[in-house]
Amino acid sequence: MLSIASLYYQLKKYDESKQWCGKIQQADPQNAEALYRVAVIDFDDSLKKTGLQGENVQFLSAEEREHTIADIDEGLKALDKAIQIRPDYFDAMEYQNLLWREKAKFEKDEKARNELIRQADVVAQKALMLRLGLRKKRPRSRRNWARSRFEPFSLKTEWGPLRPLFFALPNDPVVLLKWIRDQKRFP
């Protein structure tokens, strides 16, 4: 069902995509991805209306303004719930950062606007730290280990036509050595 919501999103049919995300939430309340997609739709809609730097906010009617703020709040609530489900969901945190910045575009009070931007910065830092931390903790598979052994080489320049062959090699080093020995190119 998530793929159907994604297809509607790609076709820019945001209401249908949100409906499918709602159906996913009804079927599986612990699905953080559906909540994330709702927030992405809300952000895209808000950004389209407000402009990149908020230059269009002053031209919005009162009804459009309320609708956009409601979308931003809906996105923030969805992301809060997604982060409660998956505390290490850094993509959701990055969109939370963007939605806080969208909300700041509507704030007329300078102090309140700065507070929203500060909150966005805190979330962005947390997302970055999570992203870097998860990258370090991720175990390397045998294939990645084998590739890392050859990193001093530039596969594109020094290996030339053998590059596609390298990625098709067996994962097990013993099988790899037997495979190399059996090749007619190598004595």
Q: Is residue 159 part of a domain?
A: yes
Same domain, 77 and 121: yes
Same domain, 128 and 171: no
In a domain, 11, yes or no: yes
Name the 3-class secondary structure at 141: coil
CATH number for the domain harbouring residue 37: 1.25.40.10
**Same structural domain, 132 and 90:** yes
pLDDT of residue 175: 67
DSSP 59-74: GS-HHHHHHHHHHHHH
Range of the domain at 88: 2-137
Under DSSP, the state recorded for 171 is S
For residues 29 and 58, membership in a common domain is answered with yes
pLDDT for the residue numbered 143: 53
- Looking at the fold, whether 126 and 159 belong to one and the same domain comes out as no
Query: Do 146 and 102 share a structural domain?
Result: no
**Within a domain: residue 73?**
yes
Taking alpha carbons only, the member of 49, 102, 50 closest to residue 75 is 102
3-state SS class at 111: helix
The pLDDT value given to residue 157: 45
Quote the radius of gyration of the chain (alpha carbons, Å).
24
Specify if 166 maps to a domain: yes
Q: Are 116 and 109 in contact (CB under 8 A)?
A: no
Give the predicted TM-score (pTM) of the model.
Answer: 0.68
- Check whether residue 39 and residue 129 sit in a common domain: yes
When divided into structural domains, the chain yields a total of 2
Same domain, 178 and 106: no
Query: 12 with 51, same domain?
Result: yes
Does 127 share its domain with 152? Answer: no
| The length of the chain, given as a count of residues | 187
Tell whether 33 is covered by a domain: yes
Cα dihedral 79, 82, 86, 90 sign: negative
Residue 187: inside a domain, yes or no? Answer: no
162: DSSP letter: G
Paired tokens of 154: 């530039």
- Are 101 and 121 within one domain? yes
User: What's the half-sphere exposure (Cβ side, CA atoms, 13 Å) at 19?
Assistant: 6
Is 145:138 a contact under the CB 8 Å cutoff? no
What pLDDT was estimated at residue 127?
87
Question: If phi over 0 gives left and psi between -120 and 50 gives alpha, with beta otherwise, what is residue 91?
Answer: alpha
Q: How far apart are CA 66 and CA 173, in angstroms?
A: 62
pLDDT the model gives residue 1: 76
* pLDDT in 10s for each residue of the chain, 187 residues: 778 888 888 888 888 989 999 899 999 989 999 999 999 999 999 999 998 888 888 889 999 999 999 999 999 999 999 999 999 898 999 999 999 999 999 998 999 999 999 999 999 888 888 888 766 655 555 555 445 444 444 444 444 444 445 455 555 666 666 666 766 554 4
| 33 and 124 inside one domain | yes
